[in-house]
């Protein structure tokens, strides 16, 4: 289930993550700016190796992840990832997405998230949720355009909760 997409002269491949992608994921995470890492993890810390192993060695019964890659001097290079994990609420999953800094604002986030939501629908999920910082205008703009409702978090003033009814959603 791999697709390609051309942006300018660059061909972007979007495909499910594989266990063999750990080195790609590590290089990708290490290349993120502090600001982008902060927006993704909602904290200034960097993911540990153990967490990165969890990111690539996913449990297909409860998780799904798509990565975006480009060719860089004959080697595959990761430029983005979007994932969901099913929550304890039946039919619901929580998503996260992050792109390399130089790939932000070029339509890739929309493309990856639409791919992820389509996969979630095929997987029989009914509801997709996410959480983002109140100042993350880019994430909120993308979520709004895809039909998410944006709600204030009842406990944390700095957070916005994103909620999409997948039964009403189509790509």
Residues that bind ligand COA (CB under 6 A): 36, 39-40, 96-99, 104-110, 130, 132, 136-139, 141-142, 145
Provide, rounded to whole angstroms, the least separation between the CB of residue 74 and ligand COA. Answer: 26
CB closer to ligand COA out of 5 and 26: 5
CB closer to ligand COA out of 22 and 131: 131
Contacts of 19 (CB under 8 A, 6+ apart): 56, 57
Straight-line distance from the first to the last Cα atom of the chain, in angstroms, rounded to the nearest whole number: 16
Pick the closest to residue 116 from 146, 145, 91, 136 (CA basis).
146
CB closer to ligand COA out of 86 and 160: 160
CA–CA distance, 137 with 101 (Å, rounded to integer):
15
Provide, rounded to whole angstroms, the least separation between the CB of residue 23 and ligand COA. Answer: 21
Pick the closest to residue 117 from 164, 162, 60 (CA basis).
164
CB closer to ligand COA out of 69 and 136: 136
Provide, rounded to whole angstroms, the least separation between the CB of residue 114 and ligand COA. Answer: 9
């Amino acid at each position: 289930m791999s697709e390609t997409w051309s942006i300018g002269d660059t061909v972007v491949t979007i495909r499910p993550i594989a266990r063999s992608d750990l080195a790609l994921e590590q290089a990708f995470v290490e290349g993120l700016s502090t600001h982008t890492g902060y927006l993704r993890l909602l904290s200034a810390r960097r993911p540990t190796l153990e967490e990165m192993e969890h990111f690539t060695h996913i449990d297909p019964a409860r998780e799904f992840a798509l990565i975006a890659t480009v060719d860089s001097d004959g080697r595959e290079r990761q430029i983005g990832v979007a994932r969901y994990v099913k929550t304890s609420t039946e039919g619901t999953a929580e998503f996260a997405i992050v792109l390399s800094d130089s790939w932000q604002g070029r339509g890739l986030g929309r493309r990856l998230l639409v791919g992820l939501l389509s996969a979630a629908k095929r997987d029989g999920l009914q509801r997709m949720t996410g959480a983002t910082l109140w100042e993350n205008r880019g994430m909120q703009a993308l979520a709004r355009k895809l039909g998410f409702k944006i709600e204030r978090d009842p406990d944390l003033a700095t957070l916005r909760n994103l909620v999409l009814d997948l039964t009403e959603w189509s790509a």
